[in-house]
Amino acid sequence: MIAIAGGGPNGLMLACELALAGLRPVVLEKLAERSQEPKANGMVGQVVRLLHHRGLHERLGGGETPFRTPGYMFGMLPLDLSAVPDNPLTILPVPQHRIEQVLEERALELGVEIRRGHEVTGFTQDDSGVHVRVLGPRGVHELSVEFLVGADGGRSTVRKLAGIGFPGVSTEKGVVRVAHVSLPERVDGNLEVPGHGPIPPGSHVRTEHGVFMHIELEQGKPLVMTVEWDPADDLPMTLDELRQSIHRVLGADVPVGPPRAHGPHMLRRTSGGNTRIAEKYRRGRVFLIGDAAHVHSAMGGPGLNLGLQDAANLGWKLAGHVHGWAPPGLLDTYEAERRPAAERVVVHTQAQTALTGPGPEVTALRTFFAELMAGADVATHIAETMAGADIRYPTGANHPLAGRFLPDWGPVSLLSQARPLLLDLTRKPALRDIAAEWADRVDVVELESTYAHADALLVRPDGYVAWAGDGVLSGLREELAAWFGSPRILAAVTN
């Protein structure tokens, strides 16, 4: 058994991945009921495509195919993606409570046990497993598992109990106020503001005094946000405070009223921020994913893209170990692959934060940076960075596709069961002869594609290409063994 501390999106995603791999994890969530508190407002980047492969994209209201947005924001500057070839920036605007609901429903369908009102309060570990102390509705009890995964957020109890440091920087600068409100009638979604004209939804207006934005992610529930740099008091947030903040930022009044639609409603103020990455993602049989492993600015919305892919990366590797076929060192590749992804998010979110700061020198920087962003090459670079499409995992294959996420061709259902795949694009008999030795772990699928530029692709369960062959099958056997262990024939002899 594998225990997951935390029943948010990352913990539930990991539970689904483990269940697809034939395991029955248990999720320990200290909240008695699923939180309805408004948090993230959607997903951006590669994770949208991953959820599409798992059959969850349409359940989340994303339609039949992921939406590639023609424009986005970087540092609260408009980013035109119309000239970007093979635009990688897919988005799925959906509130976090809905994401959690869908992932929980899927986890339960797959047989995952979710224990609400259960909090991890301690653990010890040895060569046999992890002995977890859990505080539940009936008191304290111990749970013995093979692995424990901390998916319990930025203040992770698991991380602290494991003695894993969380270095980084904190800042007191920046006050973000955000609330669901009612707004005056808008034309095509645009909000008319004296002195600024029509402000489109989702467009960030920066002045020397702060930032203003409005958007309607859920029908009938306009959301307004301001960012300022002066410190705020500790009194409870109010709508009147938001109105005053809007006036300071825009130099004009915007008639915001209480929300008319049903809840839950957001009315929140946050001050300062943290940028931190755990010193280790693993200590023995204890792992960290999501915010337990990294926290950063929400600028650009990269959080769920990073955390949910942590879960997909770790899930099949843990399953391989439990099933007995994981090659030596496979579990160590989790940190080796996902830490650079977190470091990359830290770089671009800190850069975006710098671009939104106060002062005429930042205004000048923004003007110059906007000129650079108008170029297709720069826009492509930024889009790939924000999508996580610039991440390339280390692999022994020397091919442009190796180490990258599976391109958008072929039936999307290929990865619905989170199984390793060997895609045969030219029907080579020799390929099937090699693959037969791993038939218990790797599925062979014949495909025809004019876009592949390869004869065969070895695809990991998390959607990344482990090996690609163009004309020859050199290295395939080695990569199969490197990622999916000894071949079945050899394993049978050695056992």
The CATH number linked to 381 is 3.50.50.60
The position carrying tokens 């958008």 is: 408
**233: which 2 tokens?**
């008091």
- Total tally of structural domains belonging to the chain: 3
Contact between residue 7 and residue 31 where contact means Cβ atoms under 8 Å apart: yes
pLDDT at 494: 47
CA-wise closest residue to 289 among 2, 45, 9, 1: 9
> Considering the domain boundaries, does residue 220 fall inside one?
yes
Q: Are residues 292 and 264 in the same domain?
A: no
The answer to whether residues 176 and 160 belong to one domain is: no
Structure tokens at 44: 């951006």
Final residue before a domain boundary, out of 353, 387, 421: 387
175 and 101 in a common domain = no
Question: Edge-to-edge strands of the sheet including 443-446?
Answer: 443-446, 421-424, 456-459, 465-469
Q: Do residues 29 and 118 lie in contact, with contact meaning Cβ atoms separated by under 8 Å?
A: yes
pLDDT at residue number 489: 59
Residue pair 40/186 in contact by the 8 Å Cβ criterion: no
Same domain, 105 and 43: yes
Same domain as 174, residue 156 = no
* Alpha-carbon distances, residue 244 vs 181, 193, 200, 240, 494 (angstroms): 14, 15, 21, 6, 73
Q: Pick from 273, 304, 329: which residue ends a domain?
A: 273
DSSP class of residue 190? B
The candidate with the shortest Cα–Cα distance to 348, out of 376, 371, 363, 369, is: 369
Residue 311 lies in a domain: yes
Question: Does residue 367 sit in the same domain as residue 434?
Answer: no
**CATH code of residue 467:** 3.40.30.120
Decide if 492 is inside a domain: no
CATH number, domain with residue 206: 3.30.70.2450
Sign of CA dihedral 324, 328, 331, 333: negative
Query: Do 423 and 316 share a structural domain?
Result: no
For every residue of 314-338, DSSP letters joined together read HHHHHHHHHHT-PPTTTTTHHHHHH
Tens-binned pLDDT, residue by residue, of the chain (495 aa): 999 999 999 999 999 999 999 999 999 999 988 877 767 778 999 999 999 999 999 999 998 899 999 999 999 899 999 999 889 999 999 988 899 999 999 999 999 999 999 999 999 999 999 999 999 999 999 999 999 999 999 999 999 999 999 999 988 888 999 999 999 989 889 999 999 999 998 888 999 899 999 988 888 899 999 999 888 888 899 999 999 999 999 999 999 999 998 888 889 998 888 999 999 999 999 999 999 999 999 888 899 999 999 999 999 999 999 999 999 999 999 999 999 999 999 999 999 999 998 889 999 999 999 999 999 999 999 999 999 999 999 988 888 889 999 887 767 788 999 999 999 888 878 888 898 999 999 999 988 766 667 888 999 999 999 999 887 788 899 999 999 999 975 544 444
Picking from 91, 137, 108, the residue whose alpha carbon sits closest to that of residue 12 is 108
Q: Is residue 56 part of a domain?
A: yes
Amino acid at 112: V
Q: Nearest to residue 431, comparing CAs of 421, 418, 444, 420?
A: 444
Q: In 3D, which of 444, 485, 412 has the Cα closest to residue 457?
A: 444
DSSP symbols for 428-447: -HHHHHHHGGGTTT-EEEE-
Q: Would residue 398 count as lying in a domain?
A: no
* Biggest alpha carbon–alpha carbon distance for the chain: 79
Q: Is residue 297 part of a domain?
A: yes
Angle subtended at Cα 404 by Cα 331 and Cα 318, rounded to the nearest 5 degrees = 20
Closest among 107, 117, 115 to 145, alpha carbons compared: 115
In this structure, are 254 and 332 located in the same domain? no
Q: Which of 42, 11, 5 is nearest to 107 (CA)?
A: 11
Instruction: Say whether both 114 and 99 belong to one domain.
Output: yes
pLDDT of amino acid 493 = 45
Domain boundaries, position 374: 2-167+275-387
Q: Has residue 394 been placed in a domain? A: no
Spell out the residues 6+ positions from residue 372 whose beta carbon is closer than 8 angstroms to its own: 378
User: Domain boundary residue among 239, 273, 307?
Assistant: 273
> What tokens does 241 get?
């405070």
Q: Could you give the angle at which helices 376-387 and 333-355 cross, rounded to 10 degrees?
A: 130
* Whether residues 268 and 185 fall in one domain: yes
The position carrying tokens 């002869």 is: 433
The whole-angstrom separation of Cα 171 and Cα 17 is 36
Q: What is the pLDDT of residue 375?
A: 95
Q: Is the pTM of this model over 0.85?
A: yes
Same-domain pairing of 74 and 16: yes
Burial class (CB in 10 A: 0-12, 13-18, 19+), 150: buried
- C-alpha dist (Å) from residue 393 to 122, 294, 331, 356, 371: 34, 19, 14, 32, 32
Q: Are 457 and 486 in contact (CB under 8 A)?
A: no
Backbone angles phi, psi at 215, to 5 degrees: -160, 155
Amino acid at 55: G
Regarding whether 243 and 201 lie in a shared domain, the answer is: yes
Q: Are 104 and 114 in contact (CB under 8 A)?
A: yes
Query: Could you tell me if residue 230 is inside a domain?
Result: yes
Structure-token pair, residue 109: 């369908």
